[in-house]
Structure 1
């Protein structure tokens, strides 16, 4: 299967790589591979991306959306890991979702079909 024309990598500029790793590891179980003090690759088990301190933090841009089959439990994990819920669970065409800000200020969403 070709990866042409598909999202291949997502990179976040963060102020603190250790804090980003702690949050995403606790909230979503992501794993990490360090490439020195200014760059860390993450994996969610399907997609990889990176955290870097080499660029200024800019929290605008497209909304990254994750999936969860246990939406309430995931919202609780996000809050427990230090994320702030910006839009609690709500219905939308196709399912339900919530939105949150990570410790660096990025807004992401998590959705479920149920």
Structure 2
């Protein structure tokens, strides 16, 4: 069940996606759902995915959930977060990215 403001997903850089999937499949028995040639999701204790086009981001991207994405973006901004990627659509919903005061990039997503 998705809860506002809780960690809900972990997106990792995928690099050579076929090689990454082969590694995790062989080493840990992970299974994947492909969303085109550049993205594969997993559900292995925590939902997540590998993004072969991680926009230069080479660190994991923690993703939080929000029922009302616009309201959560306003809360993030009011608390001092810097929006680095405004709300956009992706397969499965919409999300935005922000940096916290320590410089960490996170995302918040919603199904609608």
**TM-score between both structures, scaled by the size of structure 1:** 0.47
State TM-score, norm by structure 2. Answer: 0.48
